[in-house]
Amino acid sequence: MKSLNEGMQEINETFTEALQAGDAGTLSRVYAENALLMVPNAEVVRGRRDIEKFYQDVLGLGFHDHVYERIALEERADLGYEAAQFTMLTKNEQGEVIETRGKHLLILKYIDGRWWVHIDIWNNSPSRSV
């Protein structure tokens, strides 16, 4: 069984590369089939297919940088979690670069030989122009 740390390295690499490439299909493949995505100011997104649709819409905002800093990582048998802070850069309608900072909590499950994001929750700190 891969450690949660190894699984998170793979998930974060895939997520960051897909985010920067604007590839919602690849990005959604880090999520379990029945995953939940809980983001600010939106309804709960249920299942990998709807998570992919969510990211197709979101990626149109022009994400071009994503950095995160892990705060905590814990593994217990086939469950684990990661808490982290993140910074993302996007452009608003006027073309200004906006820095979005926030926190996320991932609940992960080990299924069929790999770690999957089962529940993804994030919230934002106040944004500011860069």
Report yes or no: 33 and 48 within 8 Å, Cβ to Cβ: yes
Mean pLDDT of 39-55: 96
User: How do residues 24-45 score in pLDDT, each as one tens digit?
Assistant: 999 999 999 999 999 998 999 9
With the C-alpha atoms ordered 52, 108, 87, 99, is the resulting torsion angle positive or negative?
Answer: positive
Does position 111 have pLDDT exceeding 80, yes or no?
A: yes
Task: Quickly state the pLDDT bin for 121 (edges 50, 70, 90).
Answer: very high
| Mean of per-residue pLDDT scores for the chain | 91
The CATH fold assigned to 4-129 is Nuclear Transport Factor 2; Chain: A, (3.10.450)
Q: What percent of the chain has pLDDT over 90?
A: 67
The whole-number pLDDT of residue 92 equals 76
- Enumerate the β-bridge partners of residue 110: 115
Q: Rounded to an integer, what distance in angstroms lies between the CA atom of residue 130 and that of residue 120?
A: 27
Q: Which residue has the higher pLDDT, 120 or 124?
A: 120
What are the residue boundaries of the structural domains of the chain, listed by start? 4-129
Q: Which amino acid is at 104?
A: H
